[in-house]
Chains A and B, each alone.
Chain A
């Protein structure tokens, strides 16, 4: 045992020289992570950099080949998640672990229910939860069912779960991936409150802005190796991304000025019913997308963007309105007809719509064109050899990486490569109109840079691109025109070159609206 010095005492948890080897891959190679008491410590790294493995080691899910873990300077053995829990380590997972049909209260006490003679004592639990909720500014309704509340409140429930168990070390795994911009701000505030109260926070992320905004220090991993730890106050976004990716990353999107051409998509007075409430999710929306331009639908999540795209692609029926595509009325066309006509759709949820996860990569690559003569014979049998060579071409051309190439199950691929596969499939159709919905959601900077380049290339080749995005950075840099959606209506049209994030925010929150004024002008003309 090494002598414990006073200096080390200030660390809540230390992982020293952790090495974890899987057959054929060193997932963690001599990694050191030191979390000070009361700090917010960011753990930065691309997909596959070894963040998850390191956390699994901390939770006792894996035993490292080398290295020690220390809590408050004392070496500890963590054999399983219960050990981690006993040491006061708690985690909010990226995908919440909540029982949908239970109330917030029931979820929080699940597993540590206070009982008396075998009967639940919910009153005590409720008091403790309300106390915690007040102390840290975690607004929840303890009696609401999980399935009825917003993602933000679900996350607050997860945080309360950790606090209810008196955890001192809180791990947040990509906590902002599912949140709206406002919810992100709220979460940041909550994290600051927690650290002020002496909780130590480990914040796993690859969003540099958020790390810059909230973290005190940041440790960077790359391809299983420990790159270094920096004080966030003394570093820059560029510096961090260089540490993460190993090269300089372009944040600016380069594109030449281009005059848009013919109208490709013309939408008039489109309304789509909502599945959640009685009002329409999309109300009387009209806009155009021309060839050679990227139009971005900006807005806070849940303002009708999803339904608008469902309506445009034919997944949901329209309530009213017409859609003209290259002058042809496709209002009542089927999904398949629209796809064959040259509309490609990169869906919002790649697991729900974009991929058949249990199919191989090659079978996913032909999802939009399996019925074409190239892949299906006249007798209705699949031409396997053609499918393989087609998939291999796309894999090479779009640099889709996977364990076993074309036969890899889509489920086993990383998120970034799954998205690349979808992009390859959709772009290879040579679409005249590309509808890309949150195409960079949950991806690391390298992949985001790649996808933005593809979108711009699509535009430069003279095709129309309709981008739906929730990320302010993306909205400000990628498109040629911004349409802001608020409560199912388009409330503003902005030029990304002249507008500011503040102005955009005002439209997104419904405080400003420049469309009524324009409509009035048109009428007078």
Chain B
């Protein structure tokens, strides 16, 4: 009886199905590697999982661990954006465009207008939330599905960002100028965290901020009147309307908040100076879409998203260490995307788990019945 109740707990189920997805993803990745070249499959997979642990010296490993978490922060923000909207019954596929637009505004403000980081962050946040507002408005008043408007806006924001940032790009390369050289005030403060990671200058306030925001999202959804309203609207908008909630306003607000989270994520990454934007980019950043996988792998729970984002970023980074003499250079992206793709199967895993539990109950109960039946007769 006790054993059963543990397996039936939603939290345990979420964890189990996420773990099952990870195992399945790694296995599928291994198979693909084996097909391409069986000789290096095991070690390549090992390289991916090992990531920075490959460095025997602790300070070096720590520095590379810092790099992983620097990129985890924006991924976490994108997955929060997805899951927040998802809880309200909306699929914010516009997260990729919101992320791109947030990047555009943050970098433009930092490099062209020479503004301090706090203003850059706010601009990115407001700009991306405006994109969310457009989707929300179209959904509420014109009955346009947020997925359609989100995909359209993704392209619009990508090219707008490319155009904007061409103004501040290096003359000789397609990349934007490095903030470090142009505007020091736009760099996110390290608040001493860089020391913890062997002077990794990219480890900034963004990381604790992302974690605080995860907790905040959880708090808003679970503990507040606002979250109660939003979730009611998501589960059943007719009932929400019936009891006097403003379901149109709630839809718009949700997408505004989702957009703001994605925009924040963009600023929290690009204002570290870790990477520059490539102004000739012809596809929206994968960060947004990986956020979808991270959200589902994290069981659609804001705290779960912290761990799932870390995992996904971990294997993405780890992919860079795959032996390039045996595999072509795209292999790392391929393998990590296979794993990420299978991470989206969490809900399927949950279903399978419940089916299995039901079957076991059925078998158990018929055994019980047979037992009592025999007892009765003797």
Q: Which residues of A contact B (CB under 8 A)?
A: 19, 21-23, 62-63, 65-66, 313, 315, 334-337, 339, 345, 347, 352-359, 363, 367-368, 370-371, 376, 380-382
B225 touches A380 (CB 8 A): yes
B373 touches A367 (CB 8 A): no
Q: Is there a chain A Cβ closer than 8 Å to B258's Cβ?
A: no
Q: State the CA gap A64–B319 with chains docked (Å).
A: 53
Contact partners of B366 in chain A: CB under 8 A: 21, 63, 65
* A380 in contact with B226 given A23-B361, A335-B243, A358-B235 (CB within 8 Å): yes
Q: Give the residue name and chain of the A residue nearest to B364 (CB).
A: A23
B244 touches A336 (CB 8 A): yes
B243 touches A357 (CB 8 A): no
Question: Which of B231, B243, B369 makes the CB contact (< 8 A) with A21?
Answer: B369
Expressed in whole angstroms, the minimum distance between the Cβ of B245 and any Cβ of chain A is 8
Give the size category of B's interface with A: 20 to 34
B239 touches A354 (CB 8 A): yes
B235 touches A371 (CB 8 A): no
B238 touches A352 (CB 8 A): yes
Q: Give the residue name and chain of the B residue nearest to A336 (CB).
A: B244
A-B interface contact total, Cβ < 8 Å: 81
B235 touches A357 (CB 8 A): yes
Q: Give the residue name and chain of the B residue nearest to A21 (CB).
A: B369
Expressed in whole angstroms, the minimum distance between the Cβ of B52 and any Cβ of chain A is 40
Q: Is there a chain A Cβ closer than 8 Å to B355's Cβ?
A: no
B239 touches A353 (CB 8 A): yes
Q: Which residues of B contact A (CB under 8 A)?
A: 223-226, 228-229, 231-232, 235-236, 238-245, 361-362, 364-366, 368-370, 373
B225 touches A335 (CB 8 A): no
Question: Which of B226, B232, B364 makes the CB contact (< 8 A) with A367?
Answer: B232
Question: Which of A21, A63, A315, A358 makes the CB contact (< 8 A) with B242?
Answer: A315
A66 touches B243 (CB 8 A): no
A367 touches B243 (CB 8 A): yes
Contact partners of B368 in chain A: CB under 8 A: 21
Question: Which of B223, B228, B235 makes the CB contact (< 8 A) with A370?
Answer: B228
Contact partners of B364 in chain A: CB under 8 A: 23
Q: State the CA gap A358–B373 with chains docked (Å).
A: 38
* A359 in contact with B235 given A65-B366, A315-B242, A339-B243 (CB within 8 Å): yes
Contact partners of A22 in chain B: CB under 8 A: 361, 365
Question: Which of B224, B370, B373 makes the CB contact (< 8 A) with A382?
Answer: B224
Expressed in whole angstroms, the minimum distance between the Cβ of B221 and any Cβ of chain A is 11
Q: Give the residue name and chain of the A residue nearest to B236 (CB).
A: A356
Contact partners of B232 in chain A: CB under 8 A: 356, 359, 363, 367
Q: Give the residue name and chain of the A residue nearest to B370 (CB).
A: A65
Q: State the CA gap A21–B226 with chains docked (Å).
A: 43
In addition to A23-B361, A313-B242, A335-B243, 7 A-B residue pairs with Cβ atoms within 8 Å of each other are A335-B242, A337-B244, A347-B242, A355-B239, A370-B229, A380-B224, A381-B225
Contact partners of A368 in chain B: CB under 8 A: 243-244
Q: State the CA gap A355–B231 with chains docked (Å).
A: 13
B369 touches A19 (CB 8 A): yes
Contact partners of A371 in chain B: CB under 8 A: 225
Contact partners of A382 in chain B: CB under 8 A: 223-225, 228
Contact partners of A354 in chain B: CB under 8 A: 239, 242
* A345 in contact with B361 given A65-B370, A356-B232 (CB within 8 Å): no
